[in-house]
Amino acid sequence: MPRPDRRENDQIRALHSILGLLNRVDGSAQFSAGSTSVYCGVYGPVDVKVYDEKLDRAVIEVKFRPAAGVSGTKDRWVESAVRGTFEREILAQMHPRTLIQINIQAREDDGSADAAAINATTMALVDAGVPLRDMVAAASCAVLADGAAVVDPTLEEAAAAQSVHTFAFAGSDIGRAGSGGASGSTSPVYVDSRGDFSVADYDRCYDLCLRSAQRVLAFMRTAIEGKIAKESQISVV
Amino acid sequence: MDMDDTSEQQQVAFAMHTFERIHHTEFQRRFLSQNTRHDGRAFSQFRATHVTKGTVSTAQGSSTVRIGNTTVVCGIKAEVSEPDVKTPNEGYLVTNVELSPMCSARFRPGAPSDEAQVASEHIHRLFGKAVDLATLCIESGQAVWSLSADIVCLKYDGNILDTAILALVAALEDLRLPEAQLDSATGVVSADRTIARQLTLRKRLFPATFALVDTYLVADADDAEEQLATTSVLVVLDDSGRLANIWKRGACPVSNETIHQCIESAVERAETISKTL
Amino acid sequence: MDVDMESQDTRDIASRIVTPGSVITNDTAFMRGHGTFAERTTIYSSVAGAVERINKLVSVRPLKQRYSGEIGDIIVGRITEVASKRWRVDVNSRQDGILLLSSINLPGGIQRRKSESDELQMRTFFAEGDLVFAEVQSYFADGALSLHTRSLQYGKLRNGTFVTVFPQLVPRSRSHFHTLPCGVDIVLGVNGYIWVSKHVPASKVEENSELIYSDKNEFISDDERETIARIANCIHLLNRLYVKITDTSIIFAYEASLTHAVKDLLTREIAIDLAHNVKTRLEQQS
């Protein structure tokens, strides 16, 4: 059955990003997939209250604000998901007794917003020069009522779906999978599968998301490398 | 001779207790590296689980669930309210998890902590499809039942999610909604407590949480193990054997193979609990 | 994917661009520097930037990073708080710097001892919002920079305007205070804070040490104001196009800018044009 926007089942929406669009924070990025768009601004490493500081590593704080309305428990959930994902990927031991604050603002939600938040955060952290072990790319997939698995579902598709799955992978893992490794050997950094599904559904979505994450990672890398190439050409002197 | 033995035993016990406090990680590692856990369980073993329904007489539905030392009480109060304009035939199920200093020194008094909010939100999402909200309708567009499920932790010893989910399932099964009618003339809803109907759950949920302690994956971590675990995997199955949730969160990556092992373990656990519920 | 040693030139723009998690080299001969981390025998990049190699040291320089102070750095800071016997100074770093009362020059000569009345009148020296030209003396236990202004060239800044640039663009050099031929003084703080002001002869300052904490500006004529504004805009455009900011590059930019109105210097096309001009002259010079 054709999708409302006529995409293939394994086709993600057009990706778009802007790096360094905010000038008051240390690093920022806007990440969009189709109409879903998320901003992320990163401060860090900065001063931390003595009460909160950790002696051997940086404290990582995530704040998420929805596109509309007051911040609530839903947003605490997204914050905990993002913080959990990046707590290891950020090399926090390099900056003890400091704070790395990640601020995420949802601009528009047309499905797969959690994945967009994770992707925007990766790009903003890179823009800020926060040391990372690896880049993280996320993708979503939905299993529809007729059993078809579609990647990067829109809000409409996700609401009518039997189950929705979001996965995030580290760059090195994606690279390994790409070069012929079995998907069983990959280790996702984040998994959230919800609804009514079978193990087979889960496996199908896992593979689809791994491949989508590959595309997202390539996109992010190209955007970042392009910006560096442009700016370092100018700073030859 | 007896006196000497006991005092020596006491000394050894004291040293172990001190060691646990000072070298938390190392203490746990000593057990895990020997393929066992500090309370003697196997890696895949869950603690003794007890479910009792109807423990709060003032609530329309309630339950008390114990997994090991973690004790949780769930009380569901039913109130009449107006439905949302967009969904005139649907009632509400609002879930709230309370983690107060009463259950553990870990939690501070005051506004719900992030952990409690995340737990409340996750359970809310899980149960979204479990209850048919249309069965909560009294009069379309005018009056519906609003169920407030308060999940209060009395004693915290790790694995709040599994305990809370089971408590809510049991309380929902225990729930008796009085027959209600809307008097269109006065706009008053009257309910007869003597005629109560049970709520039909679309599906019962069986959770299983696994935590990554150091590099070992253990089922149903207690508080001591949870302190060291940064990563956990939650698998929730329904009574037809299908999956309702796989939630992996935390710093360390977990291989897909391991996730499949968790699913298998969760299936076994579901079979065990379904007999208790 | 080893870094090719023979053809690697540290100024070569073709040096590899890497993103976090990229492998830089597996060769154990290399030592790892900033912007990298090692796992077993492989060196990975932890930031996005260009790989730099100096002999056996491999590092990655990201585009943007907060200023992290080193002892001996000359910086410009803004007072944010007056505390007991010290001031907190915003130095564009992850922590505020600290300027102790015992680290400043007291009016009446360098030999004057700090008195109790000084402690109670700290705002007569520096108040919140003042700009100070200082040097990094040492670190506190928590990593905060300890500053001092114990030289007549340091102290409160006046008669000018403030410009912020990327800290990486201000190289460390022998002198950070310059008098430009057009009659403007500039103070280039290594932390990216720059002060452009009317030229005041050094003798005038030494004459009257009571005035070193004065908050009163000198009279600045319209022409002087225009020159100051022109220099400030030149610095903005150098920053925007990522050109290193030194007295030489500022002078080149100033000379090239004379054909344009001061406010036009901020438009994109003119800024790019002037930056290219400056780069060409700098290359010719070296």
DSSP string, chain C: ----TTT--TT-TTSPEE-TT-EEE--TTPEE-TTEEEETTEEEESSSEEEEEETTEEEEEES---B---TT-EEEEEEEEEETTEEEEE-SBSS-EEEEGGGSPPTT-TTPPP-HHHHHTGGGT--TT-EEEEEEEEE-TTS-EEEE--STTSEE--SEEEEE--GGGS---S--EEEETTTEEEEE-TTSEEEEEE---HHHHHH-GGGGG--PPPP--HHHHHHHHHHHHHHHHHHHTT----HHHHHHHHHHHTTS-GGGGGSHHHHHHHHHHHHHHHHHH-
Among A80, A193, A199, select the one facing B245 at the smallest CB separation: A193
CA distances from A193 to A171, B121, B130, B198, B233 (A): 21, 15, 16, 30, 11
Residues B52 and B126 both lie in one domain: yes
Can you read off the two tokens belonging to residue B158? 């790790």
For range B141-164, the mean pLDDT? 94
User: Could you give the ipTM of this predicted complex?
Assistant: 0.91
Say whether pTM exceeds 0.90.
no
Residues B138 and B65 both lie in one domain: yes
DSSP state of A179: T
Structural domain of B196: 47-202
Asked whether residue C36 carries a pLDDT value surpassing 50, the answer given is yes
Among C19, C63, C64, select the one facing A221 at the smallest CB separation: C19
Asked whether residue C18 carries a pLDDT value surpassing 50, the answer given is yes
On whether residue B36 sits in a domain, the answer given is no
Identify the pLDDT of residue C11. Answer: 37
The reply to whether residue A231 touches residue C95, judged by beta carbons under 8 angstroms, is no
Q: What angle, 0 to 180 degrees and rounded to 10, lies between the N-to-C axes of helices B256-276 and A199-234?
A: 140
For range B214-232, the mean pLDDT? 91
Asked whether residue B1 carries a pLDDT value surpassing 60, the answer given is no
Residues of A in contact with B114 (CB under 8 A): 76, 79-80
**A-contacting chains (≥3 CB pairs under 8 Å):** B, C
Domain boundary residue, one of B202, B227, B242: B202
Residues B127 and B261 both lie in one domain: no
Domain boundary residue, one of B202, B227, B261: B202
Identify the pLDDT of residue C12. Answer: 37
On whether residue B258 sits in a domain, the answer given is yes
Identify the pLDDT of residue A34. Answer: 94
On whether residue B1 sits in a domain, the answer given is no
Identify the pLDDT of residue B6. Answer: 64
On whether residue B39 sits in a domain, the answer given is no
Identify the pLDDT of residue A98. Answer: 87
pLDDT in tens, B185-214: 777 888 887 778 888 788 899 999 999 988
On whether residue B236 sits in a domain, the answer given is yes
Contact status of C250 with chain A (Cβ, < 8 Å): no
Identify the pLDDT of residue C210. Answer: 67
Query: In chain B, which residue ranges form alpha helices assigned H by DSSP?
Result: 2-22, 24-32, 114-126, 160-174, 223-228, 256-276
pLDDT in tens, C183-199: 999 999 999 999 999 99
- Of C268 and B46, the one with more pLDDT: B46
Domain boundary residue, one of B158, B185, B202: B202
Verify B-C touch: 3 or more CB pairs within 8 A: no
Q: What is the DSSP string of B193-227?
A: EEEEEEPPBS--EEEEEEEEETTEEEES--HHHHH
Residues B167 and B261 both lie in one domain: no
pLDDT in tens, B72-81: 999 999 999 9
Residues B105 and B154 both lie in one domain: yes
Residues of A in contact with C34 (CB under 8 A): none
The reply to whether residue B249 touches residue A198, judged by beta carbons under 8 angstroms, is no
A15-234 — its CATH code?
3.30.230.70
Q: Where are the domains of chain A?
A: 15-234
**Cis-peptide into A96, omega within 30 deg:** no
pLDDT in tens, C148-168: 998 878 889 999 999 999 888
pLDDT in tens, C82-109: 998 899 999 988 778 999 998 888 776 6
Q: Cα(A29)–Cα(C215) distance, rounded to whole angstroms?
A: 41
Residues B195 and B211 both lie in one domain: no
Chain B residue with the nearest C-alpha to that of A169: B253
On whether residue B4 sits in a domain, the answer given is no
Among B114, B243, B256, select the one facing A76 at the smallest CB separation: B114
Contact status of C272 with chain A (Cβ, < 8 Å): no
Residues B219 and B159 both lie in one domain: no
pLDDT averages per 10-residue partition of chain A, 237 residues: 88 94 88 96 86 90 93 91 92 89 95 95 94 95 94 94 95 77 76 94 94 95 89 52
Residues of B in contact with A81 (CB under 8 A): 249
For range C194-217, the mean pLDDT? 78
Contact status of C241 with chain A (Cβ, < 8 Å): yes
pLDDT band at C200 (very low <50, low <70, confident <90, very high): confident
Residues B223 and B197 both lie in one domain: no
Residues of B in contact with A189 (CB under 8 A): 253
Count how many domains chain B has: 2
Contact status of C65 with chain A (Cβ, < 8 Å): yes
Asked whether residue C272 carries a pLDDT value surpassing 90, the answer given is no
Residues B155 and B267 both lie in one domain: no
- Helix (H, G, I), strand (E, B), or coil: what is residue B252? coil
Residues B91 and B188 both lie in one domain: yes
Residues B82 and B185 both lie in one domain: yes
In this structure, are residues A133 and A152 in contact, taking their beta carbons and an 8 Å threshold? Answer: no
Chain A interface with B: residues with Cβ < 8 Å? 73-74, 76-77, 79-81, 84-85, 87-88, 163, 170, 173, 183-199, 201-202, 206
Asked whether residue C281 carries a pLDDT value surpassing 60, the answer given is yes
In this structure, are residues C160 and C185 in contact, taking their beta carbons and an 8 Å threshold? Answer: yes
The reply to whether residue A172 touches residue C282, judged by beta carbons under 8 angstroms, is no
In this structure, are residues A43 and A26 in contact, taking their beta carbons and an 8 Å threshold? Answer: yes
Residues B175 and B57 both lie in one domain: yes
For range C276-284, the mean pLDDT? 87
Residues of B in contact with A186 (CB under 8 A): 255-256
Among A163, A191, A194, select the one facing B248 at the smallest CB separation: A191
Identify the pLDDT of residue B96. Answer: 94
On whether residue B38 sits in a domain, the answer given is no
On whether residue B18 sits in a domain, the answer given is no
Contact status of A172 with chain C (Cβ, < 8 Å): yes
Identify the pLDDT of residue A233. Answer: 61
Residues of B in contact with A196 (CB under 8 A): 129, 203, 238, 242-244
Q: Residue written as tokens 């020997």?
A: B34
